[in-house]
Amino acid sequence: MSQLYVSAEHVLQGGYHHATLRRLQEPNTTIEPHNIMYPVFLLEDDNAKQEVASMPNVYRYGINELIPVLKDLVAKGLKSILIFGIIETLPKDPTGSHADSAQNPVIRALPRLRAELPSLLLACDVCLCPYTSHGHCGLLTDSGAIDHAASVKRIAEVALAYALAGAQIVAPSDMMDNRIKAIKEALVSVKLQNQVSLLSYSCKFASSMYGPFRDTMKSSPMSGDRKCYQLPPGAAALAARAAARDVAEGADFLMVKPGLPYLDIVRQTKDQFPNHPLFIYQVSGEYAMISRSGESEDVSTMLMEVLTCMRRAGADCIITYFAPLVLSMISANK
């Protein structure tokens, strides 16, 4: 007859029978305000406020509407935002002229944000797709291929314009080869390299999970797709090479995007570059999925689990549309 037996050396449960012990068993997974960055959509019309149909509780704001919202969030602990500009009446053209024109909503808003929210860290997404008539993230040759040299030059100009207007982080999301070096050199040329950081969207995959964002930004390509510059979803080796290249070119921070299906890439990148803070972007499709997953309490519980797992995988900062909810959950747990 087999004996019911407890093997003393195989007992794990002795180590996590209490909530405080369970926290000790989850090192480096706490979610504090500095671990969260909030993406915001900034409209050209300063007084506008528009709902985003595909993303519950997400709005696009003109600067006059955005500032009070951010003041409220800063009072609740918000530390950093990632700004996306949207143009509606300004024309789009092949070179994305309004990405860095004086009328660009981001260029106009940065000085006000710096003055009115001095503690808030301001990151700007740098890409051409919201401003180009063809909707691609770079510039095109006459035959419609990506013009590599022209794209990198233009992306660096736009990044420099945001830096000069007051951005503290520039975050190129275009995935053009060599843009990190070009941007770093542009920052050096105006002596801003020690005041503006470079957050590379180093490992950005050609994902189906950007749909709600593209609706919001009206930034889908008019023809073709982004598979020639964003990484194939299965390509872990290309992600490693892209991270290595961007570190060599001077990136201060790296990013993996999307988040949840790519946690292996997060771990791979963190192990590859343990000395570079790593960002993860929980993208609009992930937001839509979790938002619709159940009652609000279930959403909060699921969200915290996902964020904890992102931290466990090696992410230092999570870019999330859920930032307001996360801040209220953190303060409720104090």
Ligand X SMILES: NCC(=O)CCC(=O)O
Q: How far is the CB of 127 from ligand X (least distance, A)?
A: 6
Residues that bind ligand X (CB under 6 A): 125, 127, 173, 210, 213, 283-285
From the centroid of its chain, how far is CA 67? 20
Nearest CA to 92 out of 131, 126, 128, 138 is that of 131
> Would you say 266 and 280 are in contact if contact means Cβ atoms under 8 Å apart?
yes
How many CB atoms sit inside 10 A of residue 241's CB?
14
Active site residue 218: no
110 binds, among Zn ion, ligand X, none (CB under 5 to 8 A by kind): none
Give CA–CA dist 181/198, Å, rounded: 10
- Residue number with CB closer to ligand X (193 or 219): 219
Q: How far is the CB of 224 from ligand X (least distance, A)?
A: 16
Q: Give the number of residues written for the chain.
A: 334
Q: Confirm or reject binding of residue 231 to Zn ion (CB under 5 A).
A: no
Residue 214, marked binder: yes
Q: Using the rule CB under 5 A, which residue among 31, 129, 231, 303 binds Zn ion?
A: 129
Q: Which two tokens stand for residue 122?
A: 């301001």
Concatenating the DSSP letter of every residue in 3-34 gives PP---GGG--GGGSSSHHHHHHTSTT----GG
Angle between helices 63-75 and 105-116 (to 10 degrees): 40
- Binding-site size for Zn ion (CB under 5 A) equals 4
Alpha helix (H) residue ranges in the chain: 19-24, 63-75, 105-116, 148-165, 179-189, 211-217, 236-249, 263-272, 284-291, 296-313, 323-332
The answer to whether 137 is a known ligand-binding residue is: yes
**Candidate ranges 7-15, 103-111, 170-178, 282-290; the one touching Zn ion (CB under 5 A):** 170-178
270 is an active site residue: no
Residue 125 touches which of Zn ion, ligand X, none (Cβ within 5-8 Å per kind): ligand X
Give the footprint of Zn ion on residues 173-212 (CB under 5 A).
173
Shortest Å distance, C-beta 329 to Zn ion: 27
Minimum Å gap between C-beta 129 and Zn ion is 3
* Chain residues that interact with Zn ion, rule: CB under 5 A: 127, 129, 137, 173
Annotated binding-site ranges for Zn(2+): 127, 129, 136-137, 228
Annotated binding-site ranges for 5-aminolevulinate: 214, 226, 284, 321
Q: Which residues are catalytic?
A: 204, 257
